[in-house]
Every structure is written in C-alpha cells, then in structure tokens.
Amino acid sequence: MNRIILDDIPFEVDEPGLAGLLKIRPGSRSADEFSGILREARSVARPKAAFVVSSVDKLSGEAVAIGGVTFTSRVLRVNLEHATISYPFVATCGQEIEEWSQQLNGMLHSFWADSIKLMALGCALGHFEAYLKEKTGIHGFSSMNPGSLPDWPIQEQAPLFEILGDAAAAIGVRLTGSMVIMPLKSVSGIQFISGDGFVNCSLCPREGCKGRRAPYDASLYGARYKRS
C-alpha cells in the first residue's frame, strides 16, 4: 500500500471571523488577549495528515476488506460496492499546538485554544481533501468516520489504524486502548469516490449538532442500506 504523509500544511485562520464566533468584542481587552494567544498558536501550529491508497478487496454481507483488513459496516460495504480503491486517512491539529495548549493557564484561554486547534484540524482536512482531488483529478469524494454512525462503531478505529500503520505515528498521532485518537483534535476515516455525495449526517438523527453538514433523512437507510 502506498502511504503518503502531508506534513507541510499551512495554518490559515481568519482572526476576525474566529473572534466573532467566540463572541470576542473588537477593541476589547479580551480581543487583545486573543490576538496574543492566536499569534503564539500560529508560531507553533503544524497541522498534518496521512493517508493510504488501498484496494477494496472483498465485499460480503455486512463486511468489506480494504487492503486485506476487514471492516464491519453495512453502510460502508454498500458505499464501497462499486469502488476499487479507497483512501483511509487521519488528520490532526498536530502535537506541537497540542503541547502548547497544555501550558496555558485559565479556562478562557484553554477554551480559545481548543477552538484554534479545531481550526488547525480543519486546515489539515481541507489540505488533504484538496490534495486528493488534485492528484486523482476526481472531485466526487465522500468519507465515513468510525464512531459517526451506530452502523460503524468507534471500535472500528482499530482496523483503520492497522491499515495506516506507521503513517499515523509519523505525524504524531496514536490510538488509545479506549479508541480515542491523540491529539484529541484529530479525525480518521475512509475517503472514497461517491457519485451521490454521501454524508454521514444523512443517517444521523442526533439533534442540535453544530457539525451537521446535511439534514437527517429518515428513509435513507431503509431505501439504500437495509437488506431486502
């Protein structure tokens, strides 16, 4: 399998926009403090991503084998039914900004740092997705993430990290025994070519989710994924 490391990702953040999201009033003392925190973060942040170009080997029932590693998920299996290649990945804010954030004092500064780290993770994801599109010439990608749906539980992080191998360690990412990715502002998943633009959110009924990217479709599972 071809493992690719992306470790030269620019950390770009819209300071006024982020300050607005955090309800920081322009010209206030908090605004000055936030500028200082963000300036420090910019000096240390090194967002990263790693992915594997892997074959989709075998599909059967509720399972699919990717690069010789088996995953159990009806939704993933159906989504990869016509795929020959997939792209298991992990993206992270980076260990550098994580270590910096742990040295901050006070709940407010820690809260700001969490938001800044989330922006760094967004840079890593955005760069990875753009890189994939540029190298393949394909724009119709979708992704699934372990733990995002009951059909594909968080325990499926283990086989995903088995595929990633030392690529995850190369960008400072590790998986704990409780299936938590460290640093915390990291995300893993599988990218695949999708003509219909699959989004996890379409199968998730959870209300009030700030990260929702598509409305919940109560009929989608029965129409596409349920066994006949």
- Give per-residue pLDDT as tens, 93-131: 999 999 999 999 999 999 999 999 999 999 999 999 999
The answer to whether the beta carbons of residues 117 and 176 sit under 8 Å apart is no
- Domain residue extents for the chain: 2-49+90-200
Can you give the pLDDT at residue 58? 79
Residue with tokens 């990717």: 66
pTM of the model: 0.92
Statement: residue 5 has pLDDT above 70: yes
Closest C-alpha to 110, from 119, 101, 118 = 101
Max mean pLDDT range (28-37, 60-69, 188-197, 200-209): 28-37
CATH of domain 2-49+90-200: 3.40.109.40
pLDDT of the residue at 43: 97
Q: Are 186 and 91 in contact (CB under 8 A)?
A: yes
Q: How far apart are CA 44 and CA 38, in angstroms?
A: 10
DSSP string, 161-177: HHHHTHHHHHTT-EE-T
Mean pLDDT of the chain: 92
Side-chain-side CA neighbours of 15 within 13 Å: the count stands at 13
Say how far apart CA 106 and CA 91 lie, in whole Å.
28
